[in-house]
Amino acid sequence: MSRLKVVKLGGSTFDELDPAFFEEWRGWLAKGNELIVVHGGGPALSAYCEDAKIDPAFHRGIRVTTDEVLKGAERVLAGEMQTRVVRSFIEQNLLAVGLSGVDAGIMRGRQLEKRLGAVGDVEAVDGRLLRTLTSNGYIPVVTSLLFGTTGTLNCNGDACAVALAEALEADVFELITDVPGVRIGDSFRSKMTPAALIDGIENGEINGGMIPKCEAAVQLLARGAEEVVIRSGKDAGDSGTTVKEGNHGTSIANISAS
């Protein structure tokens, strides 16, 4: 039976992505499985804003999205960045198709706060187009722009990926980032349970940008995903840790699914 994997590819890791990932994804598809990739692009958008002399503004880590920033997000995330990502897949003989949440209303969103500008959260996912593509061997490459009632909304890439994975009932969810996995104490752990993640967040051993990733893992596992993997984009081999499906990184799985 076909299994669905949703991969969140961090924008900061794309330029250093280990080419072995493409071989791995080809192997996944060759088994009759399906793949969706959600890509970020925060650094590229920041570079655009700097070139356009748009002063950056953040509130609690969220980029304030003015009309000028939104224009940049549309040009960079759904344009230049997405074209680069899709092209890299095609060059590796992987049939990728670039989309944003606006296309076919795949992801509809609501504005979070007026002071944040055009920043939204995913309210609804229509997976029909995505399923049509994946069932015919294509890889949807999705960027984090949403269809809002009054215009396009910018959304956090991790949040978009989680929303898609949840709505489409993904079997496996991977976060490809710039670290080898979840660190507890002085070492990266190869396997953890949701309860251990929650403990790590509460006692402060898991902190910073890893917190929302781990919270996403707990959320998805609670709603039926078999496995969530957090792994480094720089080394697909990552010999220090081993997880299911022949991947490497930190595997976060329900005990019943192990």
10 Å CB burial of residue 51 (0-12, 13-18, 19+) is: exposed
Residue at which a domain ends, from 105, 137, 170: 170
Residue 6: strand pairing partners: 36, 173
The answer on pLDDT for 165 being more than 60 is yes
Listed range (84-88, 89-93, 140-144, 212-216) with the worst mean pLDDT: 212-216
The answer on pLDDT for 178 being more than 70 is yes
228: part of which helix (H) or strand (E)? strand 227-232
Q: Sorting pLDDT into bands at 50, 70 and 90, what band is 190?
A: confident
The answer on pLDDT for 169 being more than 80 is yes
- pLDDT one-digit tens code per residue, 76-92: 999 999 999 999 999 99
Strand order in the sheet with 145-147: 120-125, 107-111, 145-147, 152-154
224 in the same domain as 100: no
199 in the same domain as 142: no
226 in the same domain as 145: no
For residue 257, the model assigns a pLDDT of: 41
86 in the same domain as 160: yes
Spatial CA neighbour of 38 closest among 128, 122, 164, 131: 164
Number of domains in the chain: 2
Residue at which a domain ends, from 120, 137, 170: 170
Mean pLDDT of the chain: 87
Whole-number Å distance between alpha carbons of 186 and 63: 32
Whole domain around residue 184: which residue ranges?
179-258
The percent of residues above 70 in pLDDT, for the chain, comes to 92
